Amino acid sequence: MSRTEHDFRQRPESGRRRTNRQEPGRRNGSGRRPEGQRPAERTQRNRGAQPARRRRKRRRKQAVKGLLLSAVLLTALLVLGAAGFLHYLKAADAKTMYAALYETEHYNQDQYQGELFAPELCVAAGDVVLNGFDGDPTLHAAGLFDVNQKQVLYADRIYDELYPASTTKLMTAYLALKHGNLEDVVTVSETAVSFVDPEASLCGLQVGDQLSLYDLLCGLILHSGNDNAAVIAEHIGGSQEGFVEMMNQEALSLGATHTHFQNPHGLHEDGHYTTAYDLYLMFNACIQDQRFIDIISMKSYQATLTGMDGSIRTDEWPASNYYSAGLADPPAGVNVIGGKTGTTDQAGSCVILYNLDSTGRPLISVVMGADNKDLLYSDMSQILSAGTAGS
């Protein structure tokens, strides 16, 4: 037996060196490739794991930053809220101290006392029955107002929005009296006499005519001249459109909140409307000026006009309301001073009047939407008779 063989036999199994050699491409018992084998594959795995670790690290950093930012914002909100609360407490204390000081200094002193709008006007919540007059359902609206007692004696649909026709000219007259100089000499423009509506009531003004504002006003109120209304509008408002703006503003200032004008004369337009009550408000404002009462009390007016060629002529403008014209008799005990009429197909026949009963009590009466003039004045006389019975 050779030495080599002897040594081999004597070497125990436990002392033998165990190797992990395996054939290339084979796995060990753990299922992993032996260390030292395939370095390229291990390097590739390590490289693939690095981005994942970096992403996890970035997410942790971002989460920490988010928490820090939330904490800073919460702290800022708390600080601002505390500061606002302290400011509120200081302001409340200051107001309380000021109120106490003001009360101490001004107690028992008279303060400003303004006048209410309604106490100077007749006001009704709705319809008001008038003993002695059963009403006329064919009318659009009607009313009777006691000027001195500020009392609505009769009301039938006085808040319904209706077409006013030439009663519109009440506002035109009111603004002329308020803003105009009645001695002004006014020249008639071409646009002021360009009426093609067959319903237009005219005083016969011609382009280039010159006449006083007072003449124009008399023709407007008594004879209901649409041409006069247009000339006045251009003189006072600079243009008819500018004057209409003034009319609407003045209506609001008088409390006529259900009125809207689109022209100064009242020829029909769909957006041109008022109410019987608003007409009362405008008429009531007009009679505060004695010049208005003086004009409506006339039976007619003779105007002097100078033509474009310098020629002078006179025109007679009679009153349009039947009482002033002698075409209708007022009831016994009633003096009809005068007023304003208006008629279009859409509005029907309308009239608003200033009257005095036998004791001198002033009354404003209005009828809107009668089918014809005879019915208009018949109903008006019945309302005046019933409203003045016993006076």
Q: Which residues are catalytic?
A: 166, 169, 224
Element (H, E) at 152: strand 151-156
> 278 φ, ψ to 5°?
-65, -35
CA distances to 47, 190, 205, 347 from 307, in Å: 110, 13, 9, 35
Largest Cα separation within the chain, whole Å, is 173
d(Cα 331, Cα 167) in Å, to the nearest integer?
Answer: 23
Burial class (CB in 10 A: 0-12, 13-18, 19+), 54: exposed
Burial class (CB in 10 A: 0-12, 13-18, 19+), 293: middle
List residues bridging with 143 in a β-sheet. 155, 366
DSSP 162: B
Burial class (CB in 10 A: 0-12, 13-18, 19+), 327: exposed
Residue that has been written with the tokens 């009319």 in this structure: 247
Angle ∠(311,312,317) on CA atoms, nearest 5: 135
Would you say 168 and 265 are in contact if contact means Cβ atoms under 8 Å apart?
Answer: yes
DSSP 145: E
CA distances to 8, 13, 233, 300, 328 from 355, in Å: 154, 146, 28, 18, 15
d(Cα 205, Cα 225) in Å, to the nearest integer?
Answer: 9
